[in-house]
């Protein structure tokens, strides 16, 4: 996704009540994170589960969070999502970078990239894929779910190779 769009997505979520942006970086969303650093709103953790735990603590304090990660980190987080986020019904927006979306992405991402949609489905974690055209609609959808106290996921495709 274009640099400008990623920055717009950050600004839009930040201006609409998301106060904390916590996670482990992914190159897929580099510009989103850079924009967050400019606003001094990014907290980087050592692992994705830790980020979710901190976001839960902030949510318990009435402050909304987005947790960002690569899909490798999403796989790390499955048990935390089921036994913490979903068990206590904590509203968090997950932003997940979809490595392995392109068939010729690096080999370590192939398997997780392939099963990612199934994992989300198995968890019953609602998700939408962000695109250049629909990002605002998808962000509004996520913000609405947060207001309803439900967790949800926004997916950013890794649409380039390096």
Rounded distance, CA 159 to CA 86, Å? 30
**Span of 2-10, 28-36, 43-51, 128-136 interacting with other proteins by CB under 8 A:** 43-51
Least distance to other proteins from the beta carbon of 123, Å? 14
Gap between the Cα atoms of 100 and 108, Å rounded: 8
- Footprint (CB under 8 A) of other proteins, residues 100-159: none
In the list 5, 6, 45, 70, the residue contacting other proteins (rule: CB under 8 A) is: 45
Smallest distance from the beta carbon of 5 to other proteins, in angstroms? 29
- Interaction mask 57-86, other proteins, x per CB under 8 A: xxxxxxx---------------xx-xxx--
Q: Under a CB-based contact definition with an 8 Å cutoff, are residues 98 and 113 in contact?
A: yes
Number of H helices and E strands in the chain, helices first, is 7, 6
- What are the C-alpha distances in Å from 85 to residues 6, 21, 53, 78? 26, 16, 9, 10
Site residues (vs other proteins, CB under 8 A): 43, 45-47, 49-63, 79-80, 82-84, 87-90
């Amino acid at each position: 996704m274009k640099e400008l769009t990623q920055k717009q997505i950050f600004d839009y979520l930040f201006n609409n009540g998301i106060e904390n942006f916590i996670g482990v970086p992914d190159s897929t969303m580099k510009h989103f994170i850079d924009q967050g650093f400019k606003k001094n709103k990014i907290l980087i953790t050592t692992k994705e589960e830790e980020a979710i735990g901190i976001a839960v603590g902030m949510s318990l304090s009435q402050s909304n969070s987005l947790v960002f990660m690569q899909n490798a980190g999403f796989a790390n987080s499955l048990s935390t999502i089921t036994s913490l986020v979903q068990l206590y019904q904590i509203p968090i927006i997950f932003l997940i970078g979809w490595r392995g979306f392109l068939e010729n992405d690096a080999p370590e991402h192939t398997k997780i990239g392939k099963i990612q949609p199934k994992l989300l489905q198995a968890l019953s974690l609602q998700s939408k894929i962000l695109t250049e055209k629909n990002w605002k609609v998808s962000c509004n959808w996520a913000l609405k779910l947060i207001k309803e106290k439900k967790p949800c996921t926004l997916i950013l495709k890794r649409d380039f190779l390096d």
